[in-house]
Amino acid sequence: MREKTSRITHHVSYLGFQFPKEKLYIRKTPKICKNGEKRRKEEKKLVITLRLRARMDKRYNTSRDEKMTDDDGDKNTSSSTSPSSSSFSLAEEARLLGNERYKKRRYHDAIACYCDSISIQPTSAALSNLAMALSGAGPTRYRANVVRCLILSVALDPERVKAVEKLNTELTLSGDVEFASHVASGDGMRDMDEYTPRRVRECFEKMAKEGNVFPKKCEENLKELSASLRQVFIGKETGNGCFRAGDFEDAKNAYTAGINAATAEYAKTMDDTTSADGKGTSRVVTPGVSILLCNRSLMKSKLGDFQGALEDANEAIGAVLDGDVNYVKAILRKADAMKKLEKYDDAFEAYFLCWTRLPGDANIANELNECIEKSQRPNKKSFKAVAGPRPCKDMNEYNALIQNHELVLVDFHAKWCGPCKQIAPAYAAMNLNKYRSVLFLKVDVDEAQDIAAREEVQAMPTFVLYRYGVKMDVMRGADVNALDKLVSRWTQTI
């Protein structure tokens, strides 16, 4: 059946709701409309969504008009008044709807709801939730927009611990502190990159156009946060320059100065924040300081202070969300310090975690093998870490590997297959040199027929890509360029 387009205009009334004028809603009807039931369900969902959107626009515009006419038309006074309870409740309603969709991993639907909430009334919670939804939809692709949302969220409420921890995590994993500093100063708010979703772009453009949507204290917090991030950037660049020149002591001092200066600047945002009993509230580490702690850990290790290096690494890991798994760089610093302290069992565990996150890194595999030889583990002779593509024959092992890694690429091959032999060196080089964080597996279809049958392999070579345990893509043939594009596309989503 050919797809048809149905138009619902302002003169159509459905379920007692009159659609607003000057709006045209276009929807493609499903291909199969058995007894009209499926079509009626789709129309009902559409109308409910449009009704909520229209209510939000109407209440938001009404609240804005009321606020602008308060105090005898004094704009300066009205801009500082608190939002009406109706607009706030509607914004909260949209945010809670976004939370429900986020829990179901409907990230783009959640983004739309959070943008609706922010358009009505910008709040720290809605901005923080929007950042989480963007991170779920594309952790790498949307990272700039995630940082943008988190900076505004922290400026609105410096005591929102989750937002501060998430901001510190994003800055630590990306390392782009300079961009975050520009965003906080206002320079980066208008520079939306090509990966910005349309709804997010419209939301921020609306806030920029209206102006005065944030309280004065938020603007002050943005300035102080920008100054704090600037100190992190200066400490990082100065210390890195000394490190490249071989001046480890000066590098350590530069990182320490950056930590102290950034912490002092960020503390200004907390001056007016006190708890109910009048005591100052506690907060997490200053955003971005984990980078300096990790770098200072390396300098202390170079200078022979292995215990100090271990303490800095642990502090850096503890300030990052799931840092004991995600902050691989700091975990490597921790493993190196424990190895030099001759704590080989603990060093083995840290290196093993890094090896699972960077299976293509040959240096980590070598360090892991050295620690297992010097450890007191009873089964150390049966273990040997190998960097690069990992062979797999057992179904249980196969299921465990694809479920416990972010991105897994599986090569189904055969010993007698010519194209398989042809692409094998390039496949190994991709893992060792370019995509070290991706787990590359090799499955011989003759030795693991049950795995090949489950994946419905009919030609060799066949490449299957898993993301967070879900099969996302399949490619057949020994085309190196096509395989490289496939892996490159999916690495942007983890």
What's the CATH code of the domain at 481?
3.40.30.10
Please report the pLDDT score of residue 270 as a whole number: 63
CB-based contacts of 324-330 (< 8 A; 24+ apart in sequence) = 324/353, 325/353, 325/357, 326/169, 326/173, 327/172, 327/173, 327/290, 327/294, 328/354, 328/357, 328/358, 329/294, 330/290, 330/293, 330/294, 330/297
Answer yes or no: do 280 and 397 share one domain: no
Which residues, 6 or more positions from 198, have their beta carbon under 8 angstroms from its beta carbon? none
Which is more confidently placed, 343 or 277?
A: 343
Please report the pLDDT score of residue 221 as a whole number: 86
Read off the pLDDT band of 30 (50, 70, 90): very low
Read off the pLDDT band of 57 (50, 70, 90): low
Q: Count the Cβ atoms, other than its own, within 10 Å of residue 142.
A: 26
Active-site residue flag, 420? yes
User: Angle 370-375-378 (CA atoms, 0-180°, nearest 5)?
Assistant: 120
Please report the pLDDT score of residue 199 as a whole number: 84
> pTM of the full predicted structure?
0.73
Least confident of 166-175, 330-339, 360-369, 425-434: 166-175
Answer yes or no: do 425 and 448 share one domain: yes
Closest residue by Cα to residue 387 from 331, 435, 431: 431
For the chain, the residue count is 494
Which is more confidently placed, 457 or 78?
A: 457
Q: DSSP secondary-structure letter at 376?
A: -
Answer yes or no: do 185 and 241 share one domain: no
Buried b (16+ CB within 10 A) or exposed e, 316-354: bbebbeebeebbbbbbbbbbbbbbeeebbebbbbbbbbb
76 assigned to some structural domain: no
Q: What are residue 280's DSSP bridge partners?
A: 274
73 assigned to some structural domain: no
Measure the CA–CA gap between 325 and 127, rounded to whole angstroms.
26
Q: What percent of the chain has pLDDT over 90?
A: 39
Answer yes or no: do 137 and 202 share one domain: yes
Measure the CA–CA gap between 359 and 357, rounded to whole angstroms.
6
Single residue among 220, 250, 265 that ends a domain in this structure = 220
Q: Which of 113, 149, 203, 420 is flagged as catalytic?
A: 420
Measure the CA–CA gap between 254 and 67, rounded to whole angstroms.
49
Read off the pLDDT band of 408 (50, 70, 90): very high
71 assigned to some structural domain: no
Please report the pLDDT score of residue 384 as a whole number: 84
Answer yes or no: do 90 and 50 share one domain: yes
Helices (H), 121-197: 124-137, 143-156, 161-174, 177-185
Answer yes or no: do 34 and 167 share one domain: yes
Q: How many domains does the chain have?
A: 3
Answer yes or no: do 229 and 316 share one domain: yes
The whole-number average pLDDT for the span 87-99 is: 86
User: In the chain, what are the helix, strand and coil shares in percent, each to the nearest 5?
Assistant: 65, 10, 30
136 assigned to some structural domain: yes
Span 293-333, pLDDT tens digits: 999 999 999 999 999 999 999 999 988 888 777 899 999 99
Measure the CA–CA gap between 83 and 67, rounded to whole angstroms.
8
Please report the pLDDT score of residue 341 as a whole number: 94
Which residues, 6 or more positions from 71, have their beta carbon under 8 angstroms from its beta carbon? 77, 78, 81
Span 218-274, pLDDT tens digits: 888 888 899 999 999 999 999 999 999 999 999 999 999 999 999 998 888 765 554
Active-site residue flag, 33? no
Answer yes or no: do 199 and 273 share one domain: no
Radius of gyration for the chain, computed over Cα atoms and rounded to the nearest angstrom: 27
Q: Count the Cβ atoms, other than its own, within 10 Å of residue 52.
A: 16
72 assigned to some structural domain: no
Single residue among 382, 399, 428 that ends a domain in this structure = 382
Q: DSSP secondary-structure letter at 487?
A: H
Chain mean pLDDT for the chain: 79
Single residue among 336, 351, 382 that ends a domain in this structure = 382
Read off the pLDDT band of 473 (50, 70, 90): very high
Task: Residue 192: give its domain's CATH number.
Answer: 1.25.40.10
Contact 467, 138 (CB under 8 A): no
Buried b (16+ CB within 10 A) or exposed e, 150-164: bbbbbbbbbbbebbb
Answer yes or no: do 231 and 108 share one domain: no
Which is more confidently placed, 335 or 204?
A: 335
Q: Count the Cβ atoms, other than its own, within 10 Å of residue 286.
A: 26
Contact 102, 133 (CB under 8 A): yes
Whose tokens are 């390039």? That residue is 426
For residue 181, the enclosing domain spans 5-66+85-220
Measure the CA–CA gap between 72 and 84, rounded to whole angstroms.
17
Please report the pLDDT score of residue 10 as a whole number: 34
Measure the CA–CA gap between 239 and 252, rounded to whole angstroms.
7
Answer yes or no: do 159 and 262 share one domain: no
Span 132-155, pLDDT tens digits: 998 888 767 788 888 889 998 988
Least confident of 110-119, 204-213, 378-387, 459-468: 204-213
Read off the pLDDT band of 462 (50, 70, 90): very high
Span 414-445, pLDDT tens digits: 999 999 999 999 999 999 999 998 999 999 99
Please report the pLDDT score of residue 210 as a whole number: 72
Query: How do 407-413 and 439-444 pair as beta strands?
Result: parallel
Please report the pLDDT score of residue 18 as a whole number: 38
Measure the CA–CA gap between 165 and 286, rounded to whole angstroms.
9
Answer yes or no: do 270 and 332 share one domain: yes
Answer yes or no: do 212 and 229 share one domain: no
Of the chain, the end-to-end C-alpha distance in Å amounts to 39
Least confident of 194-203, 242-251, 401-410: 194-203
25 pLDDT above the threshold of 50: no
78 assigned to some structural domain: no
37 pLDDT above the threshold of 90: no
79 assigned to some structural domain: no
Please report the pLDDT score of residue 420 as a whole number: 93
Contact 348, 377 (CB under 8 A): yes
179 assigned to some structural domain: yes
Measure the CA–CA gap between 203 and 209, rounded to whole angstroms.
10
Neighbour-count burial of 290, counting CB atoms closer than 10 A to its CB (0-12 exposed, 13-18 middle, 19+ buried): buried
Q: Using N-to-C axis directions, what is the helix angle for 107-120 and 37-68, rounded to 10°?
A: 30
Which residues, 6 or more positions from 332, have their beta carbon under 8 angstroms from its beta carbon? 350, 351, 354, 364
Which is more confidently placed, 325 or 82?
A: 325
E strands, 293-432, in order: 390-391, 407-413
Q: What are residue 271's DSSP bridge partners?
A: none
CB-based contacts of 75-84 (< 8 A; 24+ apart in sequence) = 79/212, 80/215, 80/216, 83/121
Neighbour-count burial of 401, counting CB atoms closer than 10 A to its CB (0-12 exposed, 13-18 middle, 19+ buried): buried
